């Protein structure tokens, strides 16, 4: 059940996240509300990612590409053709986002689609020559930025960071999600 909303007033929904952390900030000691906040891990990851991405956005946008479109085109250069589901996994996009982006990229003739004859549910995607030329046009700037980031941060630290990030993913891979048997919203009587 979708949980409507006239698109006018407020709205609910959501996703969510965030959290906590450890600490060295917070007012004093009366009762830290939750925890450091500015040291929350999701926030730290978000800030670090933005610090990196804001550099890549410039050349991408100059070529009319978003970050996600770039991820898809780049992934496609690694395969002669690839099924949509596999592409979603490789480019790390959710199905609905991928669907929309593929529609756009197809209209721009940067990719082509067909269906697997053996299973008409499955879509096969491949990059076009035009798409390849676009990739080649953007790649130099992209590589230069990556090189400068590596130079500034240090190749060693970068490798260590990548290791720690991957280890984090691995550590949480089999962590069960919470039950979610809680109240529905802030209008709950208990509030």
Is 147:56 a contact under the CB 8 Å cutoff? no
Quick check: 40 binds DNA (CB under 7 A)? Answer: no
- Contacts with a second copy in 114-133 (CB under 8 A)? 115-116, 119-124, 130, 133
Q: Which of 29, 96, 118, 164 binds a second copy (CB under 8 A)?
A: 164
Smallest distance, DNA to C-beta of residue 96, A: 3
Q: Which of 29, 74, 97, 111 binds a second copy (CB under 8 A)?
A: 74
- Contacts with DNA in 123-142 (CB under 7 A)? 123
Smallest distance, DNA to C-beta of residue 110, A: 12
Q: Which of 121, 169, 184, 191 binds DNA (CB under 7 A)?
A: 121
Report the sign of the C-alpha dihedral through residues 37, 41, 44, 47, in that order: negative
**Alpha carbons 158 and 163: distance in angstroms, whole number:** 9
Is 21:35 a contact under the CB 8 Å cutoff? yes
Quick check: 14 binds DNA (CB under 7 A)? Answer: yes
The listed partner (DNA, a second copy, none) that binds 29, CB under 5 to 8 Å by sort, is none
Residue 165 in tokens: 């990030």
Determine the distance from the C-alpha atom of residue 69 to the mean position of all C-alpha atoms in its chain, rounded to a whole number. Answer: 12
Q: Which stretch binds DNA (CB under 7 A): 22-30, 90-98, 135-143, 165-173?
A: 90-98
**Alpha carbons 68 and 71: distance in angstroms, whole number:** 5
Residues near 94 by Cβ (< 8 Å), separated by ≥ 6?
88
Quick check: 38 binds DNA (CB under 7 A)? Answer: no
């Amino acid at each position: 059940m979708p949980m409507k909303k006239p698109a006018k007033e407020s709205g609910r929904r959501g996703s969510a996240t965030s959290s906590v952390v450890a600490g060295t900030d917070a007012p004093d000691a009366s009762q830290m509300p939750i925890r450091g906040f500015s040291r929350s891990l999701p926030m730290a990851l978000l800030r670090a990612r933005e610090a990196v991405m804001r550099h890549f956005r410039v050349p991408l946008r100059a070529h009319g590409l978003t970050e996600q479109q770039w991820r898809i085109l780049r992934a496609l250069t690694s395969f002669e053709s690839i099924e949509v589901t596999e592409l979603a996994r490789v480019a790390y996009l959710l199905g609905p986002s991928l669907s929309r982006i593929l529609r756009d990229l197809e209209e721009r003739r940067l990719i082509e689609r067909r269906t697997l004859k053996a299973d008409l549910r499955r879509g096969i995607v491949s990059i076009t020559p035009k798409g390849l030329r676009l990739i080649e046009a953007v790649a130099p700037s992209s590589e230069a930025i990556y090189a400068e980031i590596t130079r500034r941060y240090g190749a060693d630290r970068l490798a260590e960071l990548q290791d720690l990030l991957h280890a984090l993913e691995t550590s949480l891979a089999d962590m069960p999600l919470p039950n979610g048997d809680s109240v529905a919203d802030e209008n709950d009587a208990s509030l």
